Amino acid sequence: TAHLDVNLARLYFRKFNDKNVKADILLRKNDISINSIKLNHAEGTLQMKAELLPSGNTTPFKMNVDVAHVNVQQLFTAFENFGQEAIEEKNIRGTLSASINMNGSLQNGGLAPYSLNGNCDFHLVNGALVNFEPLEKVGKIVFRRRNLSNITFKKISNDLQVQGSKIYIKPMAIE
């Protein structure tokens, strides 16, 4: 068993780049507990607790993440669009706060496909969908005289349910 109190001046992983990362990590024979990771990222803060249970080629995990006032475009860039292709960093703007409870598996240094399960309660303020192809296609058919290439909104809030390859989105009000 090893208990680590980690202070990193710089952390790089693929497109993720951050400064002054603080973590409290417990390494045991059969698992890893991340008691806390705190960092300032994308103009806001991220805090996380996680448990990793390495087994063979995959590493199942459970995590709780609190995101506060983060630039959503920078967040999507750093996390490579979270492995999805629906909304990418080039299409989204705004300030994101969220509470995330997920479990899944890591494989080959990244997220195992379709392994995420859990929920994400989020609030996106002063946001925009920019050059989002599905909206632009609808605009050409339904709203011919409207430009849907830059849709702005004051606030969107919702609780997303993630189950593997599916994301369930409850009805939500958009200002």
Q: Given a cut of 90, is residue 19 above it in pLDDT? A: no
The model carries a pTM of 0.81
List, in order, residues 6 or more apart from 56 with CB less than 8 Å away. Answer: none
| 16 vs 168: CA distance, rounded Å | 27
Going by C-alpha positions, the residue among 173, 128, 169, 121 that lies closest to residue 151 is 128
* 49-103 confidence digits (pLDDT tens): 999 998 888 899 999 999 999 999 999 999 888 777 888 999 999 999 999 999 9
Q: What is the mean pLDDT of residues 90-119?
A: 92
Q: How does residue 111 score in pLDDT terms, banded at 50, 70 and 90?
A: confident
Evaluate whether 41 touches 76 at the Cβ level (below 8 Å). no
Q: Given a cut of 80, is residue 175 above it in pLDDT? A: no
